Structure 1
Amino acid sequence: MRLETEVPVVQVTVSGGGMTQSVVVQVGQCGNQIGCRFWDLALKEHATVNKAVLIDMEEGVVNEILKGPLRDLFDNKQLITDVSGSGNNWAVGHKLYGSQYREQIVENLRRTAEHCDCLQCFFVIHSMGGGTGSGLGTFVLNVLEDEFPEVYRIVASVYPSAEDDVVISPYNSVLAMRELTEHADCVLPIENQSLVDIVNKIDQMAYSGKLGSVKRNSLVTSNKGGVKESEKPFDAMNNIVANLLLNLTSSSRFEGSLNMDLSEISMNLVPFPHLHYLTSSLTPLYTLADVNVPTRRLDQMFSDAFSKDHQLIRADPKHSLYLACALMVRGNVQMSDLRRNIERLKPSLQFVSWNQEGWKTSLCSVPPVGHSHSLLALANNTCVKPTFIELRDRFNKIYKKKAHLHHYLQVDGMEQSCFSEAISSLSSLIEEYNQLDASKGLHIPDPPRLNIAV
């Protein structure tokens, strides 16, 4: 998963088979690479192909996609291109390109949404560290709120690691965080470093033989989805996020005894409006690889979902406070299996006193290709707080020196107050999590100074 450097891209696609319920908005090079992997995997589960609209501020990435194996997915007539870039600058993506391309973005969003039979949700996929993903990505989020206020907005946001080579990525990430907190219904934070750790773990398991036999050109090791040969490691990381989206949308794409509408995610997992950051975990991890493996015990799959080794951010939810949790299961799993495992795991998990039964479950009868079952767990858990604290510390380290601010302030409409307001928003968010953590073990009806979402 590579943060975009100078190549802004926005891609809008229709998701679904049968009753189409959602639109996927892919922003920036990172978002489009993940999107390519998502559609590649989705096509293995469907025989249908949907249209897509691409908006590219530099033709390179779009041209590469159109020459790749997914070229038939996209309509050449629905392209908006430019020859410039965002230069890793949130202000350029949000203020400059946002205002410049707003009308065209709205037009393409509306045209794409018209293909949905029952539009419930927009998925926005973007990175936080670069200029286009963070800037134009959050601008698109604002547009969605303005133009489709009744449609839920779920965002998959890829956060840069502390070793990121873009020195101003903390600026971009914190500026984007304010927009996500104010304008998203749900955010699925994903850390680059966590993806690296998972890919390394899969590789170790593959080479040690613990995964059984690994087919030649497996999804873990091959370059697919329009990614260059030199970017194969990022393709493996993109597979993880693509598989997250595949599981997240499975209920709207296939039949199931207990399918979950996409709108139910926000309604059931977000009790407070700003605390809508959901940690995600996938199990088995090797559903992302093209491997021959023996079927593991079903109960182990549920245990793995709560293990820190399966989280898409570096966090241990078992040692933090749960507000709510959703289990989205695919394959040959019965409701009795779900209930049994929830009862088995509950004693080891800390739920807030006022939502001890805060579980949402979903059963989709169609498993991922090549596997008998899989599980996506979404948790509203205070374990996201360390990620935000680390980001705030990295921001303050460069902001106290006012380093690189002139790159932002020279963009029309960008003022220094945008930085102070953004870091204040992030600090307020962290404080809300602090208040929840302080309530551990206390039987109180509501944490203080928090308003329950209605």
Structure 2
Amino acid sequence: MTQSIVVQVGQCGNQIGCRFWDLALREHAAVNKKGIYDEALCSFFRNTNSRADAGGADVQRGRICSLKARAVIIDMEEGVVNEILQGPLRDLFDSAQFITDVSGSGNNWAVGHKLYGGQYRDQIVEKLRRTAEQCDCLQCFFVIHSMGGGTGSGLGTFVLNILEDEFPEVYRFVTSVYPSAEDDVITSPYNSVLAMRELTEHADCVLPIENQSLVDIVNKINQMTNCGKLGAVKPNSLVTSNIGGVKESEKPFDAMNNIVANLLLNLTSSARFEGPLNMDLNEITMNLVPFPHLHYLTSSLTPLYTLADVNVPTRRLDQMFSDAFNKDHQLIRADPKHSLYLACALMVRGNVHISDLRRNIERLV
């Protein structure tokens, strides 16, 4: 079984990462009823025994002792990191996984990339190497960051340079959150442009996410939830809502961050769980990236109501396939029907017959 490491950079990256680890734990808990450390958990988690020695020896098999996330957490402000350290997920990380400062990057790409990049390069390399050494078969790095902030755009892309230098054979998947047109940070367009060049040069695959698209999807989910004929949200939601999870209260951006976290969970599901048609993560890049620099993928999620656990009958597979190419389901504001596709991948989770998949693929083509 292969392992992946998540690198969270900046305020946005760490907020999304926090939601990702929360949802990942809940997803595995819903499947792993016996509390056994299996290959699915090994993909993103270590099983450590703190009683063995001071460092916490890894336990490869048997019951779960103490799960530790395969993650490196970087932020030049302490706010979000302190929330993680004081929150319910604090036991999932240790101090060796954090790199923080107090002043922040001031929404300036150059400060994050040039100033903090040079200042913290050695620490970043050390944390990455230590985390990589704890993997038996490291498959890829997932970098989560924003394009509008100084730390996310500047230091986030600087981390990509480090990963390319230190781990040239390991794939680099990047989830980048782009600012909306109504962003009130005046430097965000400049930060995005400067970061885009670094993403083009040093990433293997980029999943661009736009803030405005997330807002539109959240509003659509709320409309569907409040509509009487579609039912109501389940009292113990297992996907998007924090009810029944490790957090008691929701923050304004949690619903948006949950959508991105669900995207990553669905993307890695075939690498974590067994199935008849599992797809290796590296196959995504192999099949969808025609040229090295042309590695930006448009993401879509359907059906949307599952993100809110709404009590409605299962929609027909045909409608789900059609919705996947609908602009209302895209995580970046683009109309797929007015664009040209060089390649396309449809990843389906659940009990679906191969014949139905082939029929819908032929219908869409």
User: How far apart are the structure 2 equivalents of 1:269 and 1:323?
Assistant: 8
For residue 28 of structure 2, the aligned residue among 46, 49, 58 is 46
User: How far apart are the structure 1 equivalents of 2:201 and 2:243?
Assistant: 35
Query: Does residue 190 of the first structure (1) align with residue 209 of the second (2)?
Result: yes
Match of 1:409 in 2: none
Q: CA deviation at 1:235?
A: 0.6
Please list the CA deviations of residues 291-311 of structure 1 after superposition, one character each: whole Å capped at 9, or x if unmatched. Answer: 332211122111111111100
Contact 1:121 1:152 in 2 (8 A): yes
Residue 55 and residue 272 in structure 1: after superposition, are their counterparts in 2 closer, same or farther (change >3 A)? closer
Contact 1:285 1:310 in 2 (8 A): yes
Q: CA deviation at 1:57?
A: 2.5
Residue 292 and residue 67 in structure 1: after superposition, are their counterparts in 2 closer, same or farther (change >3 A)? farther
Please list the CA deviations of residues 45-93 of structure 1 after superposition, one character each: whole Å capped at 9, or x if unmatched. Answer: 21499x5443342322111112222222111344333222100000010
User: How far apart are the structure 2 equivalents of 1:221 and 1:120?
Assistant: 27
User: What TM-score results when the alignment is normalised by the length of structure 2?
Assistant: 0.83
Residue 271 and residue 69 in structure 1: after superposition, are their counterparts in 2 closer, same or farther (change >3 A)? same
Please list the CA deviations of residues 303-329 of structure 1 after superposition, one character each: whole Å capped at 9, or x if unmatched. Answer: 111111100011111221110001111
Please list the CA deviations of residues 216-250 of structure 1 after superposition, one character each: whole Å capped at 9, or x if unmatched. Answer: 47579856899999973311000110000000000
SS of the aligned residue for 1:230 comes to coil
Q: CA deviation at 1:114?
A: 2.2
Over the residues paired in the alignment, what is the CA RMSD in angstroms?
Answer: 2.8
For residue 136 of structure 1, the aligned residue among 147, 152, 155 is 155
User: How far apart are the structure 2 equivalents of 1:21 and 1:76?
Assistant: 21
User: How far apart are the structure 2 equivalents of 1:124 and 1:78?
Assistant: 14
User: How far apart are the structure 1 equivalents of 2:157 and 2:243?
Assistant: 28
SS of the aligned residue for 1:325 comes to coil
SS of the aligned residue for 1:150 comes to coil
For residue 204 of structure 1, the aligned residue among 196, 219, 223 is 223
User: What TM-score results when the alignment is normalised by the length of structure 1?
Assistant: 0.68
Residue 276 and residue 55 in structure 1: after superposition, are their counterparts in 2 closer, same or farther (change >3 A)? closer
The answer to which of 155-164 and 296-305 deviates more is 296-305
Residue 178 and residue 89 in structure 1: after superposition, are their counterparts in 2 closer, same or farther (change >3 A)? same
Q: CA deviation at 1:178?
A: 0.4
The answer to which of 197-206 and 225-234 deviates more is 225-234
Q: CA deviation at 1:208?
A: 0.8
Q: CA deviation at 1:37?
A: 1.0
Residue 256 and residue 192 in structure 1: after superposition, are their counterparts in 2 closer, same or farther (change >3 A)? same
Please list the CA deviations of residues 143-175 of structure 1 after superposition, one character each: whole Å capped at 9, or x if unmatched. Answer: 111111111111111110111010110110000
SS of the aligned residue for 1:175 comes to helix
Contact 1:34 1:238 in 2 (8 A): yes
Q: How does 1:326-337 map to 2 (within 5 A)?
A: 326-337=345-356
Please list the CA deviations of residues 339-392 of structure 1 after superposition, one character each: whole Å capped at 9, or x if unmatched. Answer: 111001xxxxxxxxxxxxxxxxxxxxxxxxxxxxxxxxxxxxxxxxxxxxxxxx
The answer to which of 27-36 and 288-297 deviates more is 288-297
Contact 1:57 1:83 in 2 (8 A): yes
Residue 210 and residue 182 in structure 1: after superposition, are their counterparts in 2 closer, same or farther (change >3 A)? farther
Residue 115 and residue 47 in structure 1: after superposition, are their counterparts in 2 closer, same or farther (change >3 A)? farther
SS of the aligned residue for 2:26 comes to helix
Contact 2:78 2:102 in 1 (8 A): yes
Residue 63 and residue 226 in structure 1: after superposition, are their counterparts in 2 closer, same or farther (change >3 A)? farther
Match of 1:421 in 2: none
Match of 1:23 in 2: 5
Contact 1:23 1:123 in 2 (8 A): yes
The answer to which of 154-163 and 55-64 deviates more is 55-64
Contact 1:22 1:120 in 2 (8 A): yes
Residue 210 and residue 105 in structure 1: after superposition, are their counterparts in 2 closer, same or farther (change >3 A)? farther
Residue 214 and residue 245 in structure 1: after superposition, are their counterparts in 2 closer, same or farther (change >3 A)? same
SS of the aligned residue for 1:47 comes to helix
User: How far apart are the structure 1 equivalents of 2:229 and 2:146?
Assistant: 32
User: How far apart are the structure 1 equivalents of 2:256 and 2:110?
Assistant: 27
The percent of aligned pairs where both chains have the same amino acid is 90
Query: Does residue 292 of the first structure (1) align with residue 311 of the second (2)?
Result: yes
The answer to which of 67-76 and 154-163 deviates more is 67-76
Contact 2:205 2:296 in 1 (8 A): yes
SS of the aligned residue for 1:232 comes to coil
User: How far apart are the structure 2 equivalents of 1:222 and 1:321?
Assistant: 35
Contact 1:224 1:235 in 2 (8 A): no
Contact 2:13 2:146 in 1 (8 A): yes
Contact 1:251 1:261 in 2 (8 A): yes
* Stretches of structure 1 lacking an aligned partner (at least 5 in a row): 1-18, 345-453
Residue 152 and residue 287 in structure 1: after superposition, are their counterparts in 2 closer, same or farther (change >3 A)? same
Contact 1:65 1:226 in 2 (8 A): no
Residue 219 and residue 321 in structure 1: after superposition, are their counterparts in 2 closer, same or farther (change >3 A)? same
Contact 1:222 1:232 in 2 (8 A): no
User: How far apart are the structure 2 equivalents of 1:217 and 1:97?
Assistant: 42
Please list the CA deviations of residues 373-423 of structure 1 after superposition, one character each: whole Å capped at 9, or x if unmatched. Answer: xxxxxxxxxxxxxxxxxxxxxxxxxxxxxxxxxxxxxxxxxxxxxxxxxxx
Q: CA deviation at 1:275?
A: 1.4
Contact 1:53 1:74 in 2 (8 A): no
User: How far apart are the structure 2 equivalents of 1:168 and 1:341?
Assistant: 44
User: How far apart are the structure 2 equivalents of 1:62 and 1:328?
Assistant: 33
Contact 1:154 1:185 in 2 (8 A): yes
User: How far apart are the structure 1 equivalents of 2:272 and 2:221?
Assistant: 28
Residue 229 and residue 136 in structure 1: after superposition, are their counterparts in 2 closer, same or farther (change >3 A)? farther
Contact 1:221 1:233 in 2 (8 A): no
User: How far apart are the structure 2 equivalents of 1:322 and 1:247?
Assistant: 22
How many residues in Structure 1 have an aligned counterpart in Structure 2?
Answer: 326
User: How far apart are the structure 1 equivalents of 2:130 and 2:335?
Assistant: 42
Residue 48 and residue 133 in structure 1: after superposition, are their counterparts in 2 closer, same or farther (change >3 A)? farther
